[in-house]
Amino acid sequence: MFPGFTQQTNDFLWLLRLNNNRDWFQAHKQDYLDQVQTPMRQLAEEVYDRFSAAHQDLSLLLRVSRIYRDARRLYGRGPYKSHLWFSLGMGGQERMTYPVFWFEIYPTGYAYGLGIYPTKPALMARFRQEIDRDPEEMRRLARAFQRQDRFALTAEEYKRPKGQAAPPLDQWYNRKGLDLTCNRPVDELLYSPALVDELLAAFEALIPYHRYFSALCSREA
């Protein structure tokens, strides 16, 4: 059972950001295993077990990030990640083109939500076509999104708009992708077992958007 993260979790991530090298990490690897990896896996597995059991039709698979960066893609950065995440998404080759529920922890806080990573331009072009053709379903989702205050639309917008849509669809129409995010600073919830229930409730609220964009991805595929 997930007991909550601790102040030591954030302390480790801060220190790793400042000392991102093999010597420091090897000297503190047990801290990583105890304070970061173990509670992250406990959280991920508990959320996955409960959420997937309630929504077996979604056929979700759990992925937990590794702390090691791909050596081929360091781009001048250190070999370790100071932010770690897990996701619940489709398996197989499709997993990178369908929506995923996710959670991420980093030195200054944590976040969770729903997104498609990466999002192909062709998919968002199909999204705009669907809105132009039959906007009602997405309009209902957009209105519901306006009434909540947990998540924000954070996907980048095109600098040159691809077209126009009437409110509330105008907030969605020119996005480059799907990214519905709740950002939180370090707080008591992060250090509590209640984080499991918060993620389950948050993901539950995002299911209508997951279903809409999953259907869109299937049509695009």
Contact in structure between 80 and 20 (CB atoms under 8 Å): yes
Q: What is the pLDDT of residue 181?
A: 98
Mean pLDDT (whole number) for 11-36: 96
Give the tens place of pLDDT for each residue, 124-134.
Answer: 999 999 999 99
Taking residue 30's Cβ as centre, other Cβ atoms within 10 Å add up to 9
Question: 């077996």: which residue's tokens?
Answer: 56
Give the tens place of pLDDT for each residue, 144-198.
Answer: 999 999 999 999 999 999 999 999 999 999 999 999 999 999 999 999 999 999 9
Pairing of strands 109-115, 179-185: antiparallel
Contact in structure between 154 and 179 (CB atoms under 8 Å): yes
Contact in structure between 24 and 42 (CB atoms under 8 Å): no
68: phi then psi, degrees, rounded to nearest 5: -85, 130
pTM of the predicted protein model: 0.93
Q: What is the pLDDT of residue 53?
A: 96
Give the tens place of pLDDT for each residue, 46-104.
Answer: 999 999 999 999 989 999 999 987 756 656 578 899 999 999 998 654 445 799 999 99
Question: 């998404």: which residue's tokens?
Answer: 89
Pairing of strands 100-106, 61-64: unpaired
In whole numbers, what is the pLDDT of the chain averaged over residues? 93
| CA gap 7, 89 in Å, rounded | 29
Q: 21-30, 95-104, 157-166, 204-213: which range is least confident on average? A: 95-104
- Name the band, by pLDDT with cuts 50, 70 and 90, for residue 211: very high
Q: What is the pLDDT of residue 97?
A: 78
| CA gap 163, 127 in Å, rounded | 12
Positions of E strands within 108-207: 109-115, 152-153, 179-185
Contact in structure between 37 and 25 (CB atoms under 8 Å): no
> In percent, how much of the chain has pLDDT > 90?
85
Mean pLDDT (whole number) for 119-140: 95
Q: What is the pLDDT of residue 146?
A: 97
Backbone torsion region of residue 113, taken as left when φ is above 0, otherwise alpha when ψ lies between -120 and 50, otherwise beta: left
